[in-house]
Structure 1
Amino acid sequence: MKVIESADLVKTTLFQGLRGEIVSRVLMQVTRLNKCNKIYAKIYQDRTGTSFIEAFLEQAGIQYSFNPLDLERIPKTGPFILIANHPFGGLDALILLKEISRVRPDFRFMANMYLQKIDAIEDLFLPSGARDEHFDAYSGISSIKAAKTHLRDGKPLGLFPAGEVSSIKIGKNQLADNQWQYGILKLIKAAGVPVVPVFFKGNNSLISSF
């Protein structure tokens, strides 16, 4: 059982054609996606939800730290929107889901195509209504509608305002978030709920930004 295969990368615009297929196979090794697939195959059968996330992070050797007092600042009731920068790819969402769910089990995240492929945790993400390889959960009408409904039901929502993983900024030799998406700004403003900011300190390897 695999989460992401080289064929999935080939579907994206960046890796079209024979050359893209070759590059995608190399990236599967370089970005350790093959390792992720092996871990997934090992643990997915008997774990779901945050239990799966905890096991995955442990097997992958992912370590992180934060001030436990920060969790006490999370609203215990009612809707809120958690926003965060996005330097570590899918790990950002997994870590936030694991920790915020301790306080709010009804916390959900807006998903992208690849996170939606993880059956063991698909219930932790809002349904996008589509699984097309070019679908963007942050701009799709069905996703925005699902987000509004989730908030109206009094439940908290997590999202990355930039809508994509941090990328290399030419001339600055660093990774940084892109400009926030207009549709997400409209959603946040229209929701009229508390906004909880989270900042991930650090950068992923440069190759992971491609």
Structure 2
Amino acid sequence: MQDRTAGPIRLRVKSKRLPAAVSGWLGRQFDRLLGFERFNAIYAGSAAFTSTALSRHFLDRLDMRVETDGEPLSRVPAEGPLLFVANHPHGLVDGFLLDTLVTPTRPDSRLMAFYVLGDVPEFRERLITVDPERKRSRRRRNLRGWREAYRLLSDGGSLVVFPAGAVARFDWAERRPRDPEWSPHIAALARRTGAAVMPIHIHGRNTWPFLFLGSISPKLQNLFLFSEMYRTRGRVLRITAGPLIGADELAALPSNDAAIAYLRARTEALANA
């Protein structure tokens, strides 16, 4: 039987200069500071769930309620290549939210997500993991993720993706929270596979200190994604789904850059729907 008490998300401090006991103590302190300890506690309190049920469990434990409007997700095509694109205002809970809402209609769906979540056994088979930092050293992991996504859609599957690849941060020019630049690779993926696209706007934002931290240091912001999740507990998570964008509509655009700008504009327009 699987031991769930250890927890799947941990920071391991390795140093030849430090005794193992000291390294272990430091790791536990960082786990507490970064929110890993509380994440693991919620995980340990769950049963051996499927990924969708585990996502629902996290939302329930964080006392988050879900409201939907716009196009009913139940009306999306039950088969054929389909891409759900969404903005990324909160972080981890955005993935839990869409996993919970999309899977009943498209049980073949997978989620493109931060590679750390691949350490959670229930999510391992459902996720296509990538590294948002896009370092040269992580290129192999990202290439593997893109290949998996291409095969999934080519075979008629469904994929949930946050094209920004990172959580929203405060945009000083716009004077508001906003996603980083959306990747044209997402548009290329849709255009190459002939996938239809459903834009989804997730309403809300993170706390102001977290947003400001992201505008100064995205790397530090990523470190505190887990701890930020607990500061958003008790909220109502509202999504607005837009009309389906057909493959022909995307194919008619002159480039992948134009296509991703179009998808972002369609998604952000839903903020006022």
**Shorter-normalised TM range:** 0.7 to 0.9
> In structure 2, what is the equivalent of residue 71 of structure 1?
73
> In structure 1, what is the equivalent of residue 45 of structure 2?
42
> In structure 2, what is the equivalent of residue 189 of structure 1?
191
> In structure 1, what is the equivalent of residue 9 of structure 2?
4
CA distance in 2, matches of 1:68, 1:136: 37
Q: CA deviation at 1:6?
A: 4.3
CA distance in 2, matches of 1:177, 1:69: 23
Is 1:165 matched with 2:167? yes
CA distance in 1, matches of 2:66, 2:175: 24
Whether the aligned pair in 2 keeps the contact of 1:127 and 1:146 (CA below 8 Å) is: no
Partner SS for 2:163: coil
Q: CA deviation at 1:72?
A: 2.8
> In structure 2, what is the equivalent of residue 57 of structure 1?
59
Q: Deviations over 1:182-208 (max 9, x none)?
A: 322322222221111000011012326
Q: Deviations over 1:101-137 (max 9, x none)?
A: 0111101111221221211222221366xxxx96379
CA distance in 1, matches of 2:98, 2:51: 13
CA distance in 2, matches of 1:83, 1:155: 14
Q: CA deviation at 1:42?
A: 1.4
Runs of 5+ consecutive residues of structure 1 not aligned to the other structure:
9-20
Is 1:145 matched with 2:152? no
Distance verdict in 2 for CA 1:205–1:2, change over 3 Å: farther
Distance verdict in 2 for CA 1:80–1:169, change over 3 Å: same
1:135 corresponds to which of 120, 134, 138 = 138
1:201 corresponds to which of 203, 215, 219 = 203
CA distance in 2, matches of 1:145, 1:35: 33
How many residue pairs were aligned?
A: 190
1:38 is aligned with what amino acid? A
TM-score (norm 2): 0.61
Whether the aligned pair in 2 keeps the contact of 1:168 and 1:175 (CA below 8 Å) is: yes
Whether the aligned pair in 2 keeps the contact of 1:6 and 1:28 (CA below 8 Å) is: no
TM-score (norm 1): 0.77
Is 1:88 matched with 2:93? no
Q: CA deviation at 1:158?
A: 1.0
**% identity of equivalent residues:** 25
Q: CA deviation at 1:171?
A: 4.9
Partner SS for 1:65: strand
CA distance in 1, matches of 2:139, 2:169: 17
Runs of 5+ consecutive residues of structure 2 not aligned to the other structure:
1-5, 14-25, 215-220, 222-273
Partner SS for 2:195: coil
CA distance in 1, matches of 2:35, 2:174: 26
Alpha-carbon RMSD across the aligned residues, in angstroms, is: 3.0
Larger CA Rg, structure 1 vs 2: 2
CA distance in 2, matches of 1:150, 1:186: 14
CA distance in 1, matches of 2:176, 2:9: 27
Partner SS for 1:204: coil
Whether the aligned pair in 2 keeps the contact of 1:81 and 1:159 (CA below 8 Å) is: yes
CA distance in 2, matches of 1:39, 1:136: 32
> In structure 1, what is the equivalent of residue 226 of structure 2?
none
